[in-house]
Amino acid sequence: MKKFAAVLFAFITVAMIPAHLVHASAAVDPETLRGTTLNVYNWGEYISDGSEGALDVNKEFEDRYGIHVEYTNYTSNEDLYAKISGGGASYDLICPSDYMVERMIAEDMLEKIDFSNIPNYKYIPEEYKNLYYDPNNEYSVPYTYGVMGIIYNSKMVDGEPDSWSILWDEKYADKILNFNNPRDAFSTAQFLLGLDVNSENAEDWQKAADKLKEQKPLVQSYVMDEIYNKMENGEAAIAPYYVGDYVMMAQNNPDLRFFYPKEGTNVFVDALCIPKNAQNKAAAELYINFMLETYIATANAEFVIYGWPHTGVLENPDYIYKDNEYLYGTVPVKTEFFHNLSPETLALMTNLWDDLKIEGSKSAGVYIALIVVVVAIAAIAVFGVIRKKRRESQD
Amino acid sequence: MKRKRSVLMPVYAVLILVFLYAPILVLVVYSFNAANSTAQLHGFSLKWYRELFHDAATLDAFRNTMILAVSSSLISGVLGTVSAVGIFKMKNKWVKNVTRGVTNIPMMNPDIVTGISMMLLFVFAGRMLGRTGVLGFPTMLIAHITFCLPYVILSVLPKLRQTDVNLSEAAQDLGCTPIQSFFKVVLPAILPGVLTGVMIAFTLSLDDFVISYFVSGPTSQTLPIRIFAMTKKRVTPDMYALSTIMFFAILFLLIIINYIQMRGEKKQIEKVKY
């Protein structure tokens, strides 16, 4: 029996090799890439990494192709942009969000992808092709998507809210969280006010900033990942965040609920791209194709718990979030992408954001206190020197 | 008056200890938590320690961090000691003071300034040599040595001042070459200072995030960078486990070092007695 299995296995392997070669006939032979290195720069916790029994995707890739994967992480699109544009480091594969893809294409920072090397691109659903940031589908392959909404604790919030205005409800003062990054935080106010989140009009941004100032006394804190703990242990009641993160949080606190505000909300797509200074483009394309294989994509989708634009995953009966009503249910409201803003608008937004964060900390009082402390220290020092001098002169 | 003080003193000491160790204690407790959220305590479990040893990316980052910390602290230890001896031997008081001041400035420099300027320098130097993608382990090592160096100098200089200048001259009178006298007489005398400097350098290198973040490249990601990048999602509890292990490892190391030092001092005292 064992022998039979071995023979069968050998047969399957042999049978698979030509199939594989035929499959990749147009592509670079992966064998020629053996022993090379692939530098992947991705968000933290954005790939199935072998924890809690999950598939270790990078190891799987290394084992299959003999290409060493150097996998490092960044924390924001802006950090990624700084690293790539600085020119000090060369990466082969990155995963920017939609508006950053747009910016990088505009600034000629991305390499065109040779889609004949990525046969698995067939799994990408039509609605995720030719999106605004890459209208001719030359530079990017969508990796994840998600929609922003509001998470709330049903034990602490009355009724069923349906609007962004709940984030301004004084009843929940000190129980409200908001994003700790300007673009997302501003969008909460912009959606509520019916403003364009991609507006280039300074007045619009000023209006949104005023709205956020109005909200500030009610906000417990501006958070990013801290939201997990704060919402799970009931420290905060209401927070805007992404639907995938809600699914993860609800596993630890079943009282949490989620809704899409009626005024409309933000949708994002993170896409795999190859930067201009890539040293190993062929391996990067091989890696993208590998990431689109159904079982790899499923493992990643179950690990990251965001929406996965991949028909293979969506039809995979083993995918645990297959029919998740939140991840894959219809979004009943209007959704909008963030677009790349002009440098002036970006600067304005950053300034308004800084104002918002600093304002209210009684800035004048702080400065006076600082001056008093400095003067006191100086006085003590001077006094000490004088006393020392006097003593010396007495001696 | 005296009685009041005797009550206040232990209270104060306990408060300080709580202040210092409560965060670490919480971390240790959560590292044994069965749930993956700090919202719940689900009972004792070694799950996250098991997870840690399967988390290849974290172990990689940990290995990089340790290699970087050990090599940068040792190299800056050697360089710093040599420079401290050099500064100490300077004849011109003016030059000596200026040099000492100049070596201290990088310590006062905010990390973010050091990080950005280092990155610019490396990229610039890379361009001059016609290379892109210079950032990586070598640049991180250079950066870490650079910011550790002043601390080593600062901890070695006072020890040099404490030693008797005539000692090395006496050794040379008795037939040592200058280099021999340094290794046989001066170095043993300043060794505690050197060790302190190396230890400070080690801990600084171990937990530096800002500078590393700017000068790191596609290879050799360190642990602080990895943990910080997790803030997109949740910081996984196996980080608590790793931190717990690191805390106890360093505690153990410190106890051993203190024990050895104490024995050394005792021996010296005994020697003086007889």
Q: What pLDDT does A20 receive?
A: 44
A363/A306 Cα distance (integer angstroms): 41
Cβ–Cβ gap A86/B134 under 8 Å? no
The reply to whether A47 falls in a domain is yes
Average pLDDT over residues A105-120: 94
Q: Chain B neighbours among A 284-313 (CB < 8 Å)?
A: 304
> Mutation test of the interface with chain B: which of A37, A57, A90, A306, choosing the one with the most B Cβ atoms within 10 A?
A90
| Residue A8 in this model has a pLDDT that exceeds 60 | no
Is the CB of A221 inside 8 Å of chain B's CB atoms?
Answer: no
3-state secondary structure of B217: coil
Same domain, A327 and A347: no
Average pLDDT over residues A258-265: 94
Mean pLDDT of chain A: 88
User: A256-259 and A110-111: which strand pairing?
Assistant: unpaired
Average pLDDT over residues B78-105: 91
| Residue A126 in this model has a pLDDT that exceeds 50 | yes
Cβ–Cβ gap B218/A39 under 8 Å? yes
Q: What pLDDT does B233 receive?
A: 75
Strands of A120-259, DSSP E: 140-153, 176-179, 219-223, 238-242, 256-259
Q: What pLDDT does A364 receive?
A: 73
Distance from CA of B228 to the nearest CA of A (A): 7
Q: Which residue has the higher pLDDT, B272 or A205?
A: A205
Q: Which residue has the higher pLDDT, A270 or B39?
A: A270
Q: What percent of chain B has pLDDT over 90?
A: 32
Is the CB of B33 inside 8 Å of chain A's CB atoms?
Answer: no
Q: What pLDDT does B260 receive?
A: 81
The reply to whether A199 falls in a domain is yes
| Residue A17 in this model has a pLDDT that exceeds 70 | no
Q: Which residue has the higher pLDDT, A85 or B265?
A: A85
pLDDT band for position A302 (cuts 50, 70, 90): very high
Q: What pLDDT does A381 receive?
A: 93
Same domain, A94 and A195: no
Q: What pLDDT does A286 receive?
A: 94
Q: Which residue has the higher pLDDT, A325 or B3?
A: A325
| Residue B72 in this model has a pLDDT that exceeds 50 | yes
The reply to whether A282 falls in a domain is yes
Same domain, A96 and A208: no
At residue A223, φ and ψ (nearest 5 deg) are -130, 160
Q: Chain A neighbours among B 160-219 (CB < 8 Å)?
A: 215-219
Tokens of A289: 């194709």
The reply to whether A225 falls in a domain is yes
Cβ–Cβ gap A89/B55 under 8 Å? no
Is the CB of A241 inside 8 Å of chain B's CB atoms?
Answer: no
Same domain, A202 and A323: no
A99/A105 Cα distance (integer angstroms): 10
Average pLDDT over residues A65-80: 90
> Mutation test of the interface with chain A: which of B121, B213, B214, B232, choosing the one with the most A Cβ atoms within 10 A?
B232
| Residue B62 in this model has a pLDDT that exceeds 60 | yes
3-state secondary structure of A44: coil
Q: What pLDDT does B234 receive?
A: 76
Is the CB of B125 inside 8 Å of chain A's CB atoms?
Answer: no
User: A37-43 and A68-74: which strand pairing?
Assistant: parallel
Average pLDDT over residues B136-141: 91
Number of domains into which chain A is organized: 2
In this complex, the residue of A39, A74, A88 whose CB is nearest that of residue B229 is: A74
| Residue B1 in this model has a pLDDT that exceeds 70 | no
Cβ–Cβ gap B218/A89 under 8 Å? yes
- Alpha helical stretches, state H, A114-265: 182-193, 202-215, 227-232, 243-250
Q: What pLDDT does B5 receive?
A: 64
Same domain, A130 and A195: no
Is the CB of A246 inside 8 Å of chain B's CB atoms?
Answer: no
Q: What pLDDT does A120 receive?
A: 94
Q: What pLDDT does A89 receive?
A: 82
A148/A240 Cα distance (integer angstroms): 7
pLDDT band for position A11 (cuts 50, 70, 90): very low
Q: What percent of chain A has pLDDT over 70?
A: 92
Residues of the domain holding A93: 14-144+270-336
| Residue B107 in this model has a pLDDT that exceeds 50 | yes
Q: Which residue has the higher pLDDT, A132 or A89?
A: A132
Same domain, A251 and A139: no
Q: What pLDDT does A36 receive?
A: 92
Is the CB of A43 inside 8 Å of chain B's CB atoms?
Answer: yes
Same domain, A139 and A284: yes
Contacts of B37 in chain A (CB under 8 A): 228-229, 232-233, 252-253
Is the CB of A54 inside 8 Å of chain B's CB atoms?
Answer: no
Q: What pLDDT does A22 receive?
A: 42
Q: What is the DSSP letter of A340?
A: P
The reply to whether A290 falls in a domain is yes
Distance from CA of A44 to the nearest CA of B (A): 5
pLDDT band for position A313 (cuts 50, 70, 90): very high
Q: What pLDDT does A19 receive?
A: 44
Q: Is residue A324 classed exposed, middle or buried when 0-12, 13-18 and 19+ CB atoms within 10 A define those classes?
A: middle
- Alpha helical stretches, state H, chain A: 2-23, 57-65, 77-86, 98-106, 182-193, 202-215, 227-232, 243-250, 281-291, 294-304, 311-314, 325-328, 343-358, 363-394
B135/B118 Cα distance (integer angstroms): 10
| Residue B32 in this model has a pLDDT that exceeds 80 | yes
Closest CA to A227 of A156, A219, A336: A219
Same domain, A261 and A196: yes
Q: What percent of chain A has pLDDT over 90?
A: 66
Distance from CA of B118 to the nearest CA of A (A): 11
Contacts of B138 in chain A (CB under 8 A): none
Same domain, A23 and A117: yes
Cα distances (Å, whole numbers) of residue B57 to A15, A44, A56, A73, B226:
34, 11, 10, 10, 9
Give pTM, 2 decimals.
Answer: 0.81
Average pLDDT over residues A274-298: 93
Rounded to 10°, the helix B111-128/B137-162 angle is: 120
Same domain, A29 and A118: yes
Which domains, from first to last, does chain B contain? Answer: 56-235 (1.10.3720.10)
Average pLDDT over residues B175-179: 87
Mean pLDDT of chain B: 87
Contacts of A248 in chain B (CB under 8 A): 233-234
Is the CB of A59 inside 8 Å of chain B's CB atoms?
Answer: yes
The reply to whether A107 falls in a domain is yes
Cβ–Cβ gap B229/A73 under 8 Å? yes
Is the CB of B57 inside 8 Å of chain A's CB atoms?
Answer: yes
In this complex, the residue of A45, A59, A70 whose CB is nearest that of residue B219 is: A70
Q: What pLDDT does A12 receive?
A: 46
| Residue A250 in this model has a pLDDT that exceeds 80 | yes
At residue A179, φ and ψ (nearest 5 deg) are -65, 145
Same domain, A57 and A166: no
Q: What is the CATH number of the domain that holds A130?
A: 3.40.190.10
The reply to whether A119 falls in a domain is yes
Q: What pLDDT does A336 receive?
A: 93
Average pLDDT over residues B27-54: 81
Q: For the CA atoms of B178, B180, B186, B188, what is the dihedral angle to 10 degrees?
A: 170
Cβ–Cβ gap A58/B57 under 8 Å? yes
Distance from CA of A223 to the nearest CA of B (A): 10
Same domain, A319 and A173: no
pLDDT band for position A226 (cuts 50, 70, 90): confident
* Chains A & B: contacts with CB separation below 8 Å: 121
pLDDT band for position B258 (cuts 50, 70, 90): confident
Lowest mean pLDDT among A52-56, A208-212, A277-281: A52-56
Q: What pLDDT does B82 receive?
A: 94
Contacts of A90 in chain B (CB under 8 A): 132-133, 217-218
The reply to whether A9 falls in a domain is no
Cα distances (Å, whole numbers) of residue B244 to A45, A97, B43, B248:
21, 35, 17, 6
3-state secondary structure of A39: strand
Is the CB of B251 inside 8 Å of chain A's CB atoms?
Answer: no
Average pLDDT over residues B150-159: 93
pLDDT digits (tens, 9 = 90+) for A329-376: 888 899 999 999 999 999 999 999 988 888 655 567 778 888 999 999
